[in-house]
Copies of this chain bind each other. A is one copy, B any other.
Amino acid sequence: MVPPVQHSVDSTHRLSLDPIATPERLLLGPGPSNAHPTVLQALSRSPIGHLDPLYIELMGEVQELLRYAWQTDNRLTIPMSGTGSAAMEATLANTVEPGDTVLVAVKGYFGLRLADMAGRYGARVVTIECPWGEAFSLNQIEEALASHKPTILAMVHAETSTGVCQPMEGIGDLCRQHDCLLLLDTVTSLGGVPLFLDDWKVDLAYSCSQKGLSCPPGLGPFTMGPRAEVKLAARSGKVPNWYLDVSLLNQYWGSDRVYHHTAPVNMNFGMREALRLLADEGLENAWARHRSNAERLWAGLERLGLELHVREDLRLPTLTTVRIPEGVDGKAFSRHLLDRHGIEVGGGLGALAGKVWRIGLMGYNSRPENVDLLLNLIETELPAFRSAAAAMAAVA
């Protein structure tokens, strides 16, 4: 007995569309970056079940290769089924309990985000700040740890909003001396910038798929070390976030294989291939490649008279912030690059909005021909975007 349909279908929202026809872009902004063709091919494989023995084998490969990329032995190393921001939230959701003091070292936009998130989990959030374009010294960190006595120090290794790479030597030791967990954002460093999580004594870290790993956005690598596991196990109640609850996720990713949620299997196909390619290249080679292409870009920009926002020893090889020259409409030029040449570069965020362009050379895109193409366009086409007054001043 089929129950009769008692309503009729309304076609107000029934768009009639042509097949998708997105263009090829060269993504030289803060991310997403272009994905490796092999990774894109993997995404289009026919899905298999999230409890299929072959998928479970693949999960193990992804975990192991993430450990390699991060240089960690952490058991709890998994890609969260969301973007990097979900993995960021997972580090806090699992470890923060109401009343914990979370110290956030803010040197750009993503530090502010960490502070916002930590507050939502009931933390007493304290921040230290440094100008957008600089990094913290060990002294600043030590003073803040001593005076605020936090449970967690959260900071950004590679600040995507400013292009600064935070030197990490010694910070982990300070955190242990002050009985504090060290939480690190490696969104714009994983795969492109030297990272030694265990040597640095990092307890919690997260990243994304769409930058140094040459995969599209959609997965958020996450890792938790033994000291953070102890804090999770000692929680008085459930993690206040079901989707990101590592104690549940561990039953799926661990040996029990208890169903939690239906994994994004195709994204994980892509991640597996992205990590395989990175392991094939070798971390030292990948890091050296990012460094050498970034140096080529920096030299070229300076040769064209442009000013880099970050001093060289703190510069990220994956993301360069370059100051928009006086009198140039930065947005108009980047819109021109996109519309005319299919090249994306980023604008500034937060305190740097309107002041810098952000140029990413990450993963598959970190190649000399991309650097030369962009430099050539800046040389030949930027002058038309200088205001008459600025052009006069430049000549004078």
Q: Are B7 and A199 in contact (CB under 8 A)?
A: yes
- Which chain B residues lie closer than 8 Å to A251 at the CB level? none
Most buried by B among A11, A48, A71, A238: A48
Q: Shortest Cβ distance from A329 into chain B, in angstroms?
A: 17
Q: Are A13 and B283 in contact (CB under 8 A)?
A: no
Report if A25-B13 is in contact (Cβ < 8 Å); known contacts: A34-B47, A243-B89, A262-B217.
Answer: no
CA distance A121 to B238 in the complex (A): 10
- Which chain B residues lie closer than 8 Å to A279 at the CB level? 14-17
A86 (CB) vs chain B CBs: closest residue: B243
Question: Interface on chain A toward B: helix, strand, loop, or mixed SS?
Answer: loop
Q: Pick the contact of A262: B31, B89, B244 (CB < 8 A).
A: B31
CA distance A121 to B113 in the complex (A): 21
Is A67's beta carbon under 8 Å from chain B?
A: yes
Q: Pick the contact of A20: B12, B13, B196, B273 (CB < 8 A).
A: B273
- Which chain B residues lie closer than 8 Å to A217 at the CB level? 47, 50, 262-266
Q: Are A81 and B86 in contact (CB under 8 A)?
A: yes
Is A42's beta carbon under 8 Å from chain B?
A: yes
Is A140's beta carbon under 8 Å from chain B?
A: no
CA distance A126 to B117 in the complex (A): 29
- Which chain B residues lie closer than 8 Å to A157 at the CB level? none
CA distance A19 to B269 in the complex (A): 10
Is A349's beta carbon under 8 Å from chain B?
A: yes
Contact pattern, A 148-175, Cβ under 8 Å of B = 1, otherwise 0? 0000000000000000000101000000
Q: Are A264 and B262 in contact (CB under 8 A)?
A: no
Question: In residues 1-50 of chain A, which contact B (Cβ within 8 Å)?
Answer: 1-3, 5-7, 9-17, 19-20, 22-25, 27, 29, 31-32, 34-35, 38, 40-50
CA distance A228 to B148 in the complex (A): 40
- Which chain B residues lie closer than 8 Å to A260 at the CB level? 85
Q: Shortest Cβ distance from A262 into chain B, in angstroms?
A: 5
Is A179's beta carbon under 8 Å from chain B?
A: no
A55 (CB) vs chain B CBs: closest residue: B22
CA distance A368 to B45 in the complex (A): 23
CA distance A65 to B12 in the complex (A): 10
Is A261's beta carbon under 8 Å from chain B?
A: yes
Report if A49-B27 is in contact (Cβ < 8 Å); known contacts: A15-B279, A266-B43.
Answer: yes
- Which chain B residues lie closer than 8 Å to A84 at the CB level? 261-262
Question: In residues 68-109 of chain A, which contact B (Cβ within 8 Å)?
Answer: 68, 71, 73, 81-86, 89
Q: Are A48 and B22 in contact (CB under 8 A)?
A: yes
- Which chain B residues lie closer than 8 Å to A73 at the CB level? 12-13
Instruction: List 27 interface pairs A-B (beta carbons < 8 Å), by A numbering.
Output: A7-B194, A14-B279, A15-B64, A16-B279, A17-B61, A17-B276, A17-B279, A22-B45, A22-B58, A23-B54, A24-B46, A25-B47, A27-B49, A32-B47, A32-B262, A34-B47, A35-B47, A35-B266, A40-B266, A43-B266, A47-B210, A47-B217, A82-B243, A83-B263, A120-B240, A217-B265, A218-B264
The 3 closest A-B pairs by CB, nearest first: A218-B264, A44-B44, A85-B261
